[in-house]
Amino acid sequence: MEDTKQEFSLETELENWPTYTFDKRKEIFYSLPRHEAEELFLSLNGSNQAELFQELPGYERRSWIRLLAPDDVADLIQELPKDYQSQALELLDPVTRNEVNALLAYAEDEAGGLMNSRFARLRPEMRVSEAISYLRAQSKAQIETIYYAYVLDQHQKLMGVVTLRELFNTFPTKVISEIMTTDLVTILDTLDQEEIGKVFSQQNYLALPVVDGDNVMKGIITVDDVVETMQEDATEDIQKIGGSEALGEPYLDISLFSMIKKRAGWLMVLFVGQLFTASLMKMFEGEIEKAVVLAMFIPLVISSGGNSGSQATTLIIRAMALGEVRMRDWWRVLMRELGSGLGLGLILAILGFIRIMVWGDAYGEYYVYIALSVSVSLVGIVLWGTVTGSMLPFALKKVGLDPAAASAPFVATLVDVTGLAIYFSVAHFFLKGILL
């Protein structure tokens, strides 16, 4: 389209925003005419807004922060350094300030912190024609949507919902309480954002009402807010699965020092775990001296356990995050993983057996026994890796930790240590009196 160049360049800027340096961002922001700068500002997320907001001269801040809806103001303020926050709150009109303060009382990642407190309200005794005019009038106000209208009693308790579309579809003289939908899906104000994501992804809602424990309506959450948080949750899980703390910032934004800090923690823990392999190997030093050939297959054997464990833990972590697998399913998962582990272990054992038999003599005269040792321990180690990897997320969740902390490298390290013990025990059994 010819007349869309402006919007498309805005979209390009937004798409490129995460890859820009801070100086480049400022440069673009200041180079735009006010109207376009406002469009850009409104489209950025809270942390990018906060970054620009802090750069603005003091006398300009008020008009910029007042552009935003209360939930967006709350997001922006949460991203500001602590000592700037009250200063920013002072810039708001008293009504909005109260609303923002109420939102800030909730944690950022629970329903109360995500919701918009400005929604369309109707009284149950209104007629449909009145309700339509009333919503029409409210369309000028700063409310999130007029397409869903919530019916509240005199104590602000939620009684039902009507859509504007339903109002259009009904006789104008009917009364709201007759036509409203009363079997409602509601979200409790303390519900955590990951759970909210599940509710929205399981069913196709555009907006849901947030209520407190007494069913008093507090605000609404629209699906477009949830999209952002869902991406964030998936990112956190993926980063943890990869064996790092969640970065919390775009990859190219985070400073090198912070990034090393977030990554070094887990790597050090894993390294300390791996030190046990050195201790174990030390215990089996005698065996290795007698049969150096055993050492040849150590990397192969232990990493097969690590790989199958990584696989299992990742599948379970994701299935838990999606609500496909719950705590009480642990037994079913265990049964499945015993089956998978056995099957996968046998497949690798056969491959390993063939490979050693083919090379044969290269591994000395007792190569058949070596092949047996490697294959049998592969079955044991893969089975053990699969079971450990699948059960660890349950164990972590049980003690109140994040299942995603059972990262692929964590499981791999755990299985490496025990894998060595399995390998040397099996080798002992087959090679006792021959090589050992």
- 354: Cα separation from own chain's centroid: 43
Closest CA to 209 of 74, 119, 132: 119
- We find the least distance from the C-beta atom of residue 155 to a copy of itself, in angstroms, to be 13
> Which residue's CB is nearer to a copy of itself, number 178 or number 289?
289
Burial of residue 301, with CB atoms counted within 10 A of its CB: 0-12 exposed, 13-18 middle, 19 or more buried: buried
> Which residue's CB is nearer to a copy of itself, number 326 or number 432?
326
202 forms part of the interface with a copy of itself (CB under 8 A): yes
Question: In the structure encoding, which two tokens stand for residue 324, read together?
Answer: 């496909």
Give the interface size with a copy of itself as a residue count (CB under 8 A): 131
Q: Which residues contact 204 (CB under 8 A, 6 or more apart)?
A: none
Site for a copy of itself in 238-277 (CB under 8 A): 238-239, 241-244, 247, 250-253, 256, 259-260, 263-264, 266-268, 270-272, 274-275, 277
> Which residue's CB is nearer to a copy of itself, number 372 or number 382?
382
Contact pick of 409, 418, 422, 431 for a copy of itself (by CB under 8 A): 409
**Per-position x/- string for 104-143, each x denoting binding to a copy of itself as judged by CB under 8 A, each - no binding:** -------------------------------xx--xx---
Site for a copy of itself in 210-239 (CB under 8 A): 215, 222-228, 230-231, 234-235, 237-239
Site for a copy of itself in 143-162 (CB under 8 A): 146-147, 158
Cα Rg, the chain, nearest whole Å:
30
- We find the least distance from the C-beta atom of residue 83 to a copy of itself, in angstroms, to be 29
Angle at which helices 94-104 and 70-79 pack, to 10 degrees? 60
Contact pick of 27, 87, 299, 398 for a copy of itself (by CB under 8 A): 299
Q: Which residues contact 427 (CB under 8 A, 6 or more apart)?
A: 287, 291, 294, 373, 377, 436
> Which residue's CB is nearer to a copy of itself, number 77 or number 293?
293
d(C-alpha 90, C-alpha 97), whole Å: 8
Question: In the structure encoding, which two tokens stand for residue 59, read together?
Answer: 């006398």
Partnered with residue 151 across adjacent β-strands are 122, 160
- Give the β-pairing of 187-188 and 158-163: unpaired
> Which residue's CB is nearer to a copy of itself, number 117 or number 314?
314
Contact pick of 322, 327, 395, 434 for a copy of itself (by CB under 8 A): 322
209 forms part of the interface with a copy of itself (CB under 8 A): no
d(C-alpha 84, C-alpha 93), whole Å: 17
> Which residue's CB is nearer to a copy of itself, number 289 or number 365?
289
Give residue 231's identity as a one-letter amino acid code.
Q
Partnered with residue 188 across adjacent β-strands are 211
Choices 49-57, 89-97, 110-118, 324-332 (CB under 8 A): range interacting with a copy of itself: 324-332
Site for a copy of itself in 48-77 (CB under 8 A): none
Partnered with residue 148 across adjacent β-strands are 163
- We find the least distance from the C-beta atom of residue 310 to a copy of itself, in angstroms, to be 5
Site for a copy of itself in 23-42 (CB under 8 A): none
d(C-alpha 103, C-alpha 219), whole Å: 10
188 forms part of the interface with a copy of itself (CB under 8 A): no
